[in-house]
Structure 1
Amino acid sequence: MLVASVMTLGIMGANAGEEVNVYSYRQTFLIEPMLSEFTKETGIKVNVKFAQKGMAEKVKQEGEYSPADVLLTVDISRLMELVNKDLVQPVDSITLKNNVPDQYRDSGDRWFALTTRARTVYSSRYRVGMLDESFDYMDLAKPKWKGKLCTRSGKHAYNVSLVSAIIANHGEVKAKTWLEGVKANLARKPQGNDRGQVKAISEGLCDLSLGNSYYLGKMLVDDEQKPWANSVYLNYIGQKSNGTHVNISGMAMAKYAPNRDNAQKLMEFLTSDVAQRLYADVNFEEPVKLGVKRSKLVASWGEYTADDLPLETIAENYTKAMKLLDEVKFDL
């Protein structure tokens, strides 16, 4: 459901009367610092509609009368949904091409990453310790971890992206065998969210879990969840093979954007040094622009090499990934 007019930022300066409309899957508090800075620098008012789900359906329903200019979302699959439903338009911008590495943008200039987030493995600090640097995603299927692994639904976008990357790197046959092994190692039926898996580790229900890196930061600043975070290590795995799987938050320009020039200005601003630093500090994610430092907390988790698969390649394997998850009855 799309919630109308959750946030309208103030307007100042010579551009009084100009505006840009944003539909966002990102929660308001996560993007407000960047949008406020944009308004401060340009005088362009930013109107935001926050959505928990249904963005593509809403934009499609509105058609050419949609007020949406910029679409902000998380996960490559949700960006590709917008592309596949013909709801976005290309943005030919040298600034965007310079700021966003090839791997993290569409070859047709229809979407661009804003931040990256690693799909890591959390390990029990007390029963397992830090995983060896040679540990790989494929190791999650080894019999030694039987009954010791927790994860959210295999069909959640974060896990489908990981399975898609496994297919791209190892082929469908090995990916299916891997999924069967991972399922056999589960301590319980897939459920909850990434933080819920860390909670399960802290309670002794399992020893390992899949989880996005930024959730560690979110737990560490939450009084209730901090003990969960302190019970685990975060492991950037795959460092001796393909690298750690990385997903993104990203943006696209709506097909019928009524304020196209302002939309492009906002998109370019969101990839600037100042906006990238703000993004990194607020949500414990990593800047997509090279040279912009991670927050001190995120940097303390260590350096790692990311899988260099283009996200377009990962997205191409989504249908195959969903098919394999059904075949092995992963969530049942």
Structure 2
Amino acid sequence: MTLRTTLLATAASAVAMPALAEVNIYTTRQPELIQPVMEAFTEETGIEVNLAYIEEGIVERLQAESERSPADLVMTVDIANLKQIADAGVLQPVENETLMEAVPESLRSDENLWFGLTTRARIVYASKERVEDGEVTTYEDLASDTWEGRICTRSGTHNYNLALLSAVIEHHGEEYARQWAADVKDNLARRPQGNDRAQVRAIWAGECDISLGNTYYMGLMLRNEEQQEWADSVRIVFPEFEEGGTHVNISGVGLTQSAPNEEEAIQLMEYLVSPGAQEIYAEVNNEYPVLESAEPSDLVASWGEFTPDDVNLADLADHRATALRIMEEVDFDG
């Protein structure tokens, strides 16, 4: 074979090689929180994962890009965000046996437009010094005058608290939920402000005795030198509804309508609900796996066991507008 023939053959071979397989993700989660599991996927499959962090306006961006969008998957947190994306018509259903078996029905869309990946519980942080074991056991307890002037929380109109109030509506109805929200407001030690960690800081500072918060914030505080002292001042309490369990919310994923790399994207979705990936993803984020056979990290497990509320999260999302109206009517943040 002549040199010219060899060069032509090499060039032809290069042209014939397929482009590098990849998956493109729009995510509202900080890339460092999901990068470890994506790297594990790439190492196992050779498929590259490209993350685009979009803090706000993810629906508007997908709608503007339409069929030209490079995004294959959307990853976000909170049932309200997932429902908003699904309702915008920018996702397509995924009829996949692996996903259906791994993700409980209550943690996925009825139309299979989105699937939960991890859960977090909305719990009570209680002062170790000023709150006895067993003083608060239910969400209904938070409306008792026992807690007058003793509760701290972030804004009532934040998605996390709207999801909790939506659960109150689901369990007890709208009128009860309105009175509950008003009573909890009356029990506040201060106006709602800051994030969930700011409430724990307020407990540490003696401004209040209990607060509402998500479980994973404990992990974040323990990793922060300044905030470790706040975390050490409280313990996690898993309240339940009187006829239910502990309220949970999710992080989740959906396949976009455009999905230029649909096959690879579904392969990644399947990987994300596999035992190994579930444990990596949950550990990095201090959350709970949705896969029943996957174990939480040792740190998360040390916070104790609880029974998740079994209401369908899609049903809670349907109550969001009512929950927001109630919070505004009782002037919860006022």
Question: Same fold, TM exceeding 0.5?
Answer: yes
Q: Post-superposition shift, 1:173?
A: 0.6
Find the aligned partners of 2:242 and 2:145 in 1 and give their Cα distance.
Answer: 21
Find the aligned partners of 1:59 and 1:144 in 2 and give their Cα distance.
Answer: 48
Q: Post-superposition shift, 1:19?
A: 1.0
Instruction: Identify the residue that residue 14 of structure 2 maps to in structure 1.
Output: none
Secondary structure, aligned partner of 2:121: strand
Instruction: Identify the residue that residue 285 of structure 2 maps to in structure 1.
Output: 283
In the TM superposition, what whole-angstrom CA distance separates every residue of 1:212-247 from its partner, at most 9, and x where no partner exists? 011111111111100000000100111753111000
Find the aligned partners of 2:67 and 2:54 in 1 and give their Cα distance.
Answer: 20
In the TM superposition, what whole-angstrom CA distance separates every residue of 1:124-173 from its partner, at most 9, and x where no partner exists? 110113334x7111111111111110000111111000000000000001
5 Å matches for 1:244-255? Answer: 244-255=246-257
Find the aligned partners of 2:305 and 2:272 in 1 and give their Cα distance.
Answer: 24
Change (3 A) 1:185 1:281: same
Instruction: Identify the residue that residue 224 of structure 1 maps to in structure 2.
Output: 226
User: What TM-score results when the alignment is normalised by the length of structure 2?
Assistant: 0.93
Per mean C-alpha deviation after superposition, the further-off stretch among 135-144 and 196-205 is 135-144
- Runs of 4 or more, structure 1, over 3 Å off, are 129-132
123, 136, 139: which one pairs with 2:126? 123
Question: Is the 2:140–2:241 contact (alpha carbons within 8 Å) kept by the matching residues of 1?
Answer: no
1:39 and 2:39 equivalent? no
Supply the AA of the counterpart residue of 2:202.
A
Question: Is the 1:198–1:232 contact (alpha carbons within 8 Å) kept by the matching residues of 2?
Answer: yes
Question: Is the 1:245–1:307 contact (alpha carbons within 8 Å) kept by the matching residues of 2?
Answer: yes
Supply the AA of the counterpart residue of 2:61.
K
Count of residue correspondences: 318
Change (3 A) 1:39 1:129: same
65, 70, 81: which one pairs with 2:68? 65
Calculate percent identity across the aligned residue pairs.
48
Secondary structure, aligned partner of 1:222: coil
Question: Is the 2:154–2:193 contact (alpha carbons within 8 Å) kept by the matching residues of 1?
Answer: yes
Instruction: Identify the residue that residue 141 of structure 1 maps to in structure 2.
Output: 143
Secondary structure, aligned partner of 1:116: strand
Find the aligned partners of 1:331 and 1:254 in 2 and give their Cα distance.
Answer: 36
Question: Is the 2:140–2:242 contact (alpha carbons within 8 Å) kept by the matching residues of 1?
Answer: no
Q: Post-superposition shift, 1:53?
A: 1.6
Instruction: Identify the residue that residue 323 of structure 1 maps to in structure 2.
Output: 325
Find the aligned partners of 2:216 and 2:309 in 1 and give their Cα distance.
Answer: 18
Question: Is the 1:125–1:232 contact (alpha carbons within 8 Å) kept by the matching residues of 2?
Answer: yes
Query: Which runs of 5 or more structure 2 residues have no equivalent in the other structure?
Result: 1-16
1:157 and 2:159 equivalent? yes
5 Å matches for 1:188-199? Answer: 188-199=190-201
> Aligned-pair RMSD on alpha carbons?
1.3
Per mean C-alpha deviation after superposition, the further-off stretch among 89-98 and 57-66 is 57-66
5 Å matches for 1:205-216? Answer: 205-216=207-218
Question: Is the 2:117–2:278 contact (alpha carbons within 8 Å) kept by the matching residues of 1?
Answer: yes
Find the aligned partners of 1:45 and 1:283 in 2 and give their Cα distance.
Answer: 22
User: What TM-score results when the alignment is normalised by the length of structure 1?
Assistant: 0.93
Supply the AA of the counterpart residue of 1:259.
N
5 Å matches for 1:43-122? Answer: 43-122=46-125
Find the aligned partners of 1:217 and 1:28 in 2 and give their Cα distance.
Answer: 18
Find the aligned partners of 2:174 and 2:87 in 1 and give their Cα distance.
Answer: 23
Give the structure with higher Rg (CA).
Answer: 2
Find the aligned partners of 1:307 and 1:29 in 2 and give their Cα distance.
Answer: 30
Query: Which runs of 5 or more structure 1 residues have no equivalent in the other structure?
Result: 1-13
Find the aligned partners of 1:229 and 1:143 in 2 and give their Cα distance.
Answer: 26
Find the aligned partners of 1:242 and 1:45 in 2 and give their Cα distance.
Answer: 42
In the TM superposition, what whole-angstrom CA distance separates every residue of 1:14-59 from its partner, at most 9, and x where no partner exists? 9761111000111111111110111111111111101222111111
Secondary structure, aligned partner of 2:74: strand
Instruction: Identify the residue that residue 26 of structure 2 maps to in structure 1.
Output: 23
Supply the AA of the counterpart residue of 1:31.
I
